[in-house]
Structure 1
Amino acid sequence: MTVWDVRPVDKQDEKFLENRDLTAAACGEVGWHYRVYGGGSSVRRDNLRWLTAYRRQMPWYPNAKEELLGICREPRATVGAVLDADHGAGHLVSAMWHYAWTGAVVIDLNQPIDRSTPVRELQESL
């Protein structure tokens, strides 16, 4: 069991640090782990916020998934390759964002996403 405390680094004041130490000690007494998450970068936050719009399964996603994953299996596959294969229809692009949300497609969310951003299939999704 892990208890997470979420507080941006710039808001971790003295009171928070005192409570952190008490909570960590209490967790240790019962054999639990205690972690503090100070937040990610603004780029990661913005990318995750973008992906939340695609968290719900749409009816065309299962049909688009195999084509999308085929593109992602290509060496040096990129977001641009998915955009080009979509031909403006939107089914592959929205499926890419959805499967990035679910983790079936891997995109580095710590970097700004553009056409040159690599995409790959998560190997466990096979």
Structure 2
Amino acid sequence: MAGSLGVLPGRVSGPPAEGFEIAYADRGGSEFRALLVDAWAVRFEDAAPVRAFKSYKGQRHLPGLWWSSTVGGHIGYESWLERDHVMLLDFDPSVVGISSQPFWLFWRSDTGKSVSHAPDYFARRDDGAAVVVDCRPANRRKRRDVAKFEATQEACAQVGWEFRLVGTPDSIVVRNVRWLAGYRHPRHRLEPVASELLAAFAEPQPLMTGASTVGDPIGVLPVLFHLLWSHELSADVSVPLHALSLVSAGTPR
């Protein structure tokens, strides 16, 4: 995944596997609660959010819905940081499923206090692996929050899931991907322009050079940007995209 990603360092101490419980809901509204070890194979990428995305006057965060080309529907977010990371998950060609607020995780602290946490995202990769994502800027990770992230990391490790605690992503990557995201909908994949662009960039060449060989850039560029979003074509998004950016054949989902 692109952006600022991190796994909490070191081994964390947490409850045994049987100490973690998980609660989730399916899209039909049915609710479930079980030991984590009994629910690890659930398709949490299809789970309904366990928490509502509330909007109210004066709130500090800006929730909303992201239309995902990966799932063909909307995924909720609770802040612009979460929006950027669900966008990057949507852009990641290895990700085939995404859900937000996928489950509640329950455990008891060392003092016996009941603790709960709902991670921000669950993502499924094309090889079947799972990734649990929490979004929090590095300068806003309070001690209590870090303890929850550590316990969530331990829970994920016990069932073979990857855990990622992400902060502010790379600004250039975000700007590039946000631009391409404007063309993520399949309606931008127009034929015969798409096929002609794939042929034009069979050998790497500058973005505008290849686009101009196909036709009027006004009509061609939206299709080109969609092909870059879908990874049918490829360009380096770690540097600003421009007319001379080298575009080549990609690896579609």
Q: Point out where structure 2 has 5 or more consecutive residues left out of the alignment.
A: 1-129
- Alignment counterpart, residue 102 of structure 1, candidates 221, 230, 246: 230
More strand by share: 2
Contact 1:55/1:102 (8 A) holds in 2: yes
- Structure 1 pair 85–14 and aligned structure 2 pair: CA distance change class (3 A): farther
By how many angstroms is 1:5 displaced? 1.5
3-state secondary structure, aligned to 2:187? coil
Encode CA deviations 1:83-124: one digit per residue, 9 max, x unaligned: 4335535232111100111111111111101111110111x4
Aligned residue number for residue 41 of structure 1: 170
Q: Which has the larger radius of gyration?
A: 2
State the partner residue of 1:113: 241
With normalisation by structure 1, the TM-score equals 0.81
Shift in CA distance, 61/101, structure 1 to aligned 2, threshold 3 Å: same
Q: For each residue in 1:49-104, what CA deviation from the matched residue of structure 2 results, as whole angstroms up to 9, or x when unmatched?
A: 111110112376231112101221124x1112134335535232111100111111
Q: Secondary structure at the match of 1:120?
A: strand
Greater CA deviation, 22-31 or 107-116?
22-31
Query: 1:24, CA displacement in angstroms?
Result: 0.7
Contact 1:60/1:91 (CA < 8 Å) preserved in 2? no
Matched pairs, number: 123
Q: 2:213 aligns with which of 62, 67, 85?
A: 85
Q: Do the aligned partners of residues 74 and 30 (structure 1) sit closer, same or farther apart at CA in structure 2, a change above 3 Å counting? A: closer
Q: Amino acid of the residue matched to residue 245 of structure 2?
A: T
SS in 2 for 1:119: strand
Does the 8 A contact of 2:234 with 2:248 survive in 1?
yes
Q: Partner amino acid for 2:219?
A: H
SS at match of 1:36: strand
Do the aligned residues in 1 keep the contact of 2:211 with 2:217 (CA within 8 Å)? no
Q: Does 1 or 2 have the higher relative contact order (CA < 8 Å, sep 6+)? A: 1
Contact 1:5–1:35 (8 Å) recurs in 2: yes
Whole-angstrom distance in 2 between the partners of 1:89 and 1:81: 10
Moved over 4 A (4+): none
TM-score scaled by length of structure 2: 0.44
Instruction: Give % identity.
Output: 24
Alpha carbon RMSD of aligned pairs, Å? 2.2
